[in-house]
Amino acid sequence: MDRSAKDPVKIQTMFTTIAHRYDLLNRLLSLGIDKSWRKFAVKQLPRAEHARYLDVATGTCDVALEIIRQCPPDAKVTGVDFSEGMLKLGTEKVISAGQQDRIELRFADVTALPFDDHVFNASIIAFGIRNVQDTIKGISEMGRVVRSGGKVVILEFTSSQSRFFQPVFHFYISKVLPFIGEIISGKKGAYKYLPDSMLNFPPPEKFSRMMQEAGLKDVRYHKLTFGAAVVYVGTAP
């Protein structure tokens, strides 16, 4: 995919525009399986007393709230996003869940995180890294703010599915989803960009090498649901 398609201003505008439909969009993209994928991704986070976790591209805070559900009551989450529209909806969900004392939300870009080095036990991003123009820089920043030995967890769609599932997945993502999305939202562009970004995302082996290039160690990955999504786990040096 052309880097210009991931222009930060364009991405910000797009997500602000579709924020009110984002949760529904994720259900459509994943056929409703994304909740179980998030649960699996959060299970990869290390547990520790008074742990601090960073949820990057927190969006509507599905991952942040899942961390709170799975982790001990003294754990805290900082969620960052560079879409004000997404943060507004995320704030509403956090307040509705009564978790504003454990989840802090901030406006920030993954390629320039406003945190000191080595302050979090782990960082995580779900369905967001494919929208980052400088992917290596984003991963590097996620590793920089994590303590040595901590984890960087990335959940993302992939274009590399099993041989039998791939044709079905590609047809659904490239043909069915944009049609449904346009009907629901009346906005064609976002529902074309998001499937395109999924189909152009690197296969697991290549993306694992990118994580290593960004400075992470012991990178491994887990394919989920016939390879429709992948959870990557790297260790901060």
pLDDT at residue 115 greater than cutoff 60: yes
pLDDT at residue 187 greater than cutoff 70: no
In a domain, 186, yes or no: no
In a domain, 27, yes or no: yes
Quote the domain boundaries for residue 83. 3-158+203-235
Q: What is the pLDDT of residue 42?
A: 99
For 65-81, the pLDDT digits (tens) are: 999 999 999 999 999 99
In a domain, 181, yes or no: no
pLDDT confidence of 162, banded at 50, 70, 90?
low
More confident call, 220 vs 179: 220
In a domain, 139, yes or no: yes
* Torsion sign over Cα 150, 152, 233, 212: negative
Query: Could you tell me the CATH number of the domain that includes residue 37?
Result: 3.40.50.150
Average pLDDT along the chain: 89
In a domain, 38, yes or no: yes
In a domain, 193, yes or no: no
Q: What is the pLDDT of residue 3?
A: 55
Give the count of domains, the chain. 1
In a domain, 191, yes or no: no
In this prediction the pTM is 0.90
Residue 58 CA to residue 56 CA, distance in Å, equals 5
